[in-house]
Amino acid sequence: MSDESPLLLVLDLIGAFAFGLNGALTAVRVARLDIVGVITLGMITALGGGIIRDILLDDLPPATFLDWHYLAVAAAGALIAFAFSVRLHRLAVPIEVLDAVGLSVFAVTGASKAMEFGLGPVQSVILGVITAVGGGTIRDVLVGRVPSVMREGLYAIPALVAAALTVTAIAIGLYGLPAALIAAAICFLIRLIGVRFNLNAPRPPGTQGATDAPGRQ
């Protein structure tokens, strides 16, 4: 294990908890699933991106199945969402905020782990984005929505920024907890600005706004 492995673990667990809570809240608010569905969707959202990352890195079995903390943290987030669903299921803001937290953290951990495994800078940035959006993409498909990464311009883009900042920090020898937190915070802020002002990347002429409403369920 490298010196950065403890940092990767802590950030991964934070992301897993945030995405677990987010996925479960989505299951309650959008799909209205039972407890099995809520926990399942929460854990898939939390762990899907990391599993994809580890498979692509040929780091098998994935960390999720080697360290029980991942499963426990993801399940805890999902159970909290289920237990407090009466209070939370009408609130869109917590879902968006938690999604931004998970997106930010996983973009950083995905890129840093890719660099740790010897991938090039460009490949590491790509893997950081895949790690960040993987679980949310599976979540959206399972509840019958067009994945956020395909309909929201400021979803993949913030993850791309965070992954690029992480790779740059590693390349120049400045990576550590402060750099990781700064990269994640920038991703988080860009994502929330996009949500607050409904910002999206350019779309083909005549389709602007056509898919905005259905995407927000």
Residue 77 DSSP code: H
Residue 209 pLDDT: 53
Residue 9 pLDDT: 77
Query: Concatenated DSSP letters for 160-199?
Result: HHHHHHHHHHHHTT--SHHHHHHHHHHHHHHHHHHHHHT-
| pLDDT (tens place) for every residue of the chain, 217 residues total | 344 457 777 878 888 998 998 899 888 888 888 999 999 999 999 999 999 999 999 999 998 899 899 999 999 999 998 888 777 656 667 778 888 888 999 999 999 999 999 999 999 999 999 999 999 899 999 988 888 788 766 889 999 999 999 999 999 999 988 999 999 999 999 999 988 888 877 777 766 555 443 333 3
Residue 119 pLDDT: 96
Query: Distance (Å, rounded) from C-alpha 32 to C-alpha 164?
Result: 37
- Please indicate, yes or no, whether the overall pTM of this predicted structure exceeds 0.95: no
Nearest to 50 by CA among 100, 99, 106: 106
Residue 22 pLDDT: 86
- Tell me the CA end-to-end span of the chain in Å, nearest whole number: 42
